[in-house]
Amino acid sequence: RTEVEVLDPKALEKSELFGAWDESTREFRDGVLAALIRNVADVETLRAGDPEAELNPPSRCLIVLDGDVSPDWIESLNSVLDDNRCLSLPTGERLRIHRKLTIVFEC
């Protein structure tokens, strides 16, 4: 089973896509892309610890960034595209892209 999430990066603010600091709570809030990447990692961690944690986990996950590539947001994905395969957040945290996750860019 393959799970597909489609995002239009131009429909979101950069903070909504990657995350931003909440000024009232002074906590970092994940954006949509960061939350999806974190969710794939969390599902795999749960599954490794308890094989029955999720009865039908996806064997693959695709995140499709649907729309024109823009320098406004693609620059933030440099570390995803290089050998590190990590999303670097403004907090300094690096979310590792799980081997079952593929990010597709529509050109």
Residue 58: its pLDDT value, please? 63
Instruction: List, in order of start, the domains of the chain with CATH numbers.
Output: 2-105 (3.40.50.300)
> Would you call 56 exposed, middle or buried from its count of C-beta atoms within 10 A (0-12, 13-18, 19+)?
exposed
In this prediction the pTM is 0.79
**Which contacts of 73-77 are long-range, i.e. CB under 8 A and separated by 24 or more positions?**
73/9, 73/14, 73/17, 73/18, 76/14, 76/17, 76/18, 77/103
Q: What are the tokens at 104?
A: 């597709």
- Report d(CA 106, CA 69) in Å as an integer: 8
pLDDT tens digits, residue range 33-73?
999 999 887 765 555 555 555 555 667 899 999 988 888 88
DSSP-assigned letter for residue 52: T
Tell me which of 51 and 84 has the higher pLDDT. 84
In Å, how far from its chain's centre is CA 76?
Answer: 12
Banded model confidence at residue 90, pLDDT cuts 50, 70, 90: confident
Residue 18: its pLDDT value, please? 94
Q: What are the tokens at 30?
A: 């994940």
